[in-house]
Amino acid sequence: MKNRFLLLGILTLIVAGCTDQSRLLQLESDNRRLAARVAELETAVARYKELDTSVFSEIPLPKEGPAIAGTVTALQAFIAKFPQSELVGEAHRRLTQAQEILKRKEEKKAAIEKDKGLFRSLADVKSDQSRYVDKLMRVNAVVSLSTNFNYGFRNNQHSYISFRIQDGTADAYVYVANEWEGTEELLQLLQNNSPRRMNIRYKIKSERYQGASEIHADLLGYGPVENP
């Protein structure tokens, strides 16, 4: 009887040991799966950071120019797609800056459209320029790039771009600063030095007017051909 109880005790210990070993093996298996899952998540986070950094680096910095509306759209899309990105704070800052630039651009455009200026042929203006000094003028004309810098613009070759405009009655020269927000877009319209007919708004400013026989004026705006 005593040996029987001893044998039963040994069997009980063996079973208990097997159970503990099975639990240990299961725990080790669970730990391996957990470690693999953690590695997958770390890889996913790294790829996420790499992706959002790549996307963000391709968004142009906010600046005056025809691309500003696209910059606003791109920043808004980035914030929506990567809300947890470490770059979201910087994206919001740039978005605010870009929206302010876009707002100023739209306000300037609205002001120009509100005050379209006097519609006169270039021949009329040319015959009595002093009468139109400091007045906003507009004309439908063929526009082309020029190398002419004269009178009040004689010393602006490095900071301005010159355009020749012709309306069929006479010609004139209008100038615009390199950094003006519409310069890049206008140059694109005239790519390959191809003349283009459009509506031009310009002003013969008193500080540049020198009584010239030709018209030399500041370009203030451009757009599609308009009715007088």
- To 10 degrees, what angle do helices 88-114 and 68-81 make? 150
In this prediction, residue 26 carries a pLDDT of 67
What global pTM score does this model have? Answer: 0.54
pLDDT, tens digit (0-9, with 9 covering 90-100), for 64-100: 877 888 999 999 999 998 888 888 999 999 999 999 9
For the record, the structure tokens of 101 come out as 């630039």
Q: 223 forms bridges with which residues in the sheet?
A: 199
Residue whose C-alpha is closest to residue 156's, from 181, 131, 173 = 173
Question: Per-residue pLDDT tens for 183-194?
Answer: 888 888 887 768
Q: Phi then psi for 220, rounded to 5 degrees?
A: -110, -15
Judged by phi (left if over 0) then psi (alpha if -120 to 50, else beta), residue 139 lies in beta
Rounded to whole angstroms, how far apart are CA atoms 26 and 104?
66
Fold of the domain built from segment(s) 118-223: OB fold (Dihydrolipoamide Acetyltransferase, E2P) (2.40.50)
CA distance 203 to 218: 5
* HEC secondary structure over 24-54: HHHHHHHHHHHHHHHHHHHHHHHHHHHHHHH
Q: Which helix (H) or strand (E) holds 137?
A: strand 136-146
Residues with Cβ within 8 Å of 119's Cβ and at least 6 positions away in sequence, in order, are 137, 138, 139, 226, 228
pLDDT winner (highest mean) among 4-13, 28-37, 94-103, 106-115: 94-103
Name the residue ranges covered by the structural domains of the chain. Answer: 2-108, 118-223
Placement of tokens 């093996």 in the chain: 25
| Other CB atoms within 10 A of residue 9 CB | 10
